[in-house]
Amino acid sequence: MPRKPHGQCLICDDDAIGINFGVPTCMPCKAFFRRNANLVGTRDFICQHDGECLITYKYRRSCNCCRLAKCFRVGMKKSFILTDEERESRNKVVAENRLKRGKIPKPQTIVWMQLPKLLSVSPNSTQYLSPLDEALLSNIFHAYEKTCIAARNAQFPSFPAAKYDSLHDFFNEISLAFPVFIEYFKLIPEFENIMMDDRIRLLKNHFCIIVSINEFLMHPETSSNLVATWTNLFGIDVTERLLKRNQLLDAFLYDFILLKLVLIVLVLSSSNSRNIDDVDLDLICDNSLLILSAQNIYVELLWKYILSRTDNEKDAVKFFNKLMMCILYVQNIDMYIDGHICGLTHEINQLEPLVKNMWPKTDQEDEITDTILTEDIADIIITEDIVDNILTEDIIDNILTEDLPDISFMEDLIF
């Protein structure tokens, strides 16, 4: 819809952006009046030319005294200026009305980065990516299609399936798809080479970022059910931040590889990225050097991939900076929600065992056994209901067996 014309600013004759404090004004004069109108009586406004300065677009900044006097003279109302609390309250009402109407911010694509065809041959591709690099990228793409996308198409066509009022119901739906993500990561050779205890620790330490990015990759459209659930569980302010998170991620979604590659780099980090103070999560991995070595492979691959898709190194650096700012925003909101959930003991106690194990045990729980993530997966996946709905018996055998067949998915692709 075209913007309504508001004529000229009555203060400086610039183009008006709307009716502000009672009269049509431009943005600079609107901001000037808000800053200075309430200072009358507490601050001296002195004109060097006896109050006869010409206030126009070109000279509006030459005399604050005459500019403010003209604001009052043309009818701007000091009483219309909202306090910080009033403005925040109004913004919340506006945001709530937008959410009720299902108005979600439109994504802004980073237009200068090339739209890649997976592993297409281009001058930059051959310059930066070796055949082994292309094989790794191909493995990532096809492994994700084989596991997460296949499961989405067959069993999880929408997310969430309903509008939830309780956190445990929402996360229990998430728990149904989480084993599928584990299957995807088992097809990443470097992850499979890590010892079992360290793999479990990596999954727990990065559970929130896994859920955020993986669920977005599986269901990039932010459904009305999801917006309603966020609002019910976290409130308007956090919902707006989550919508902003999805908007930022959406700018990178057109690329078939990028976010999947970033997610591997994040999971292969031996640090604890969660807002939880827990001895088990803070433990140093048993073989942190092996994890670092695996992560370095994909950090280098990420940089080479970005170089292969941009016109020059300057654009690659700009793009990488945008990507890192996006990831930091995602981690920030994830840590906030993580800390919020950590205080909801009654909700955590109602989670399914797999997801419940992602949070520390509470004092109220009976300390029967020190159950690890692998055993939780076994408890959930062995039941026939979950087997029918999520994974085949062959996949279950792979999850429960540490000594897997030495078959590399990447080698299957090469041959």
pLDDT tens per residue, range 186-235: 999 888 888 888 888 888 888 889 999 999 999 988 888 999 999 999 99
Classify residue 92: in a domain, yes or no: no
Rounded to whole angstroms, the Cα distance separating 9 from 56 reads 10
What is the extent of the structural domain holding 137?
Answer: 99-414
Please identify, among 53, 81, 109, the residue that sits at the C-terminal boundary of a domain: 81
Both 46 and 180 in one domain: the answer is no
Highest mean pLDDT among 254-258, 260-264, 289-293, 375-379: 260-264
Both 24 and 171 in one domain: the answer is no
Both 56 and 196 in one domain: the answer is no
Contact 99, 231 (CB under 8 A): yes
Tally the domains of the chain.
Answer: 2
State the pTM of this model: 0.60
Both 45 and 182 in one domain: the answer is no
Both 363 and 241 in one domain: the answer is yes
Both 71 and 205 in one domain: the answer is no
Both 124 and 212 in one domain: the answer is yes
Distances (CA, A) of 302 to 133, 136, 297, 306, 407: 10, 11, 9, 6, 25
Classify residue 131: in a domain, yes or no: yes
Q: Provide the pLDDT for residue 201.
A: 85
Residue 385 tokens, joined: 């209901």
Both 106 and 23 in one domain: the answer is no
Classify residue 294: in a domain, yes or no: yes
Binning pLDDT at 50, 70 and 90, where does residue 96 land? low
Ramachandran area for residue 51 (φ above 0: left; ψ -120 to 50: alpha; else beta) = left
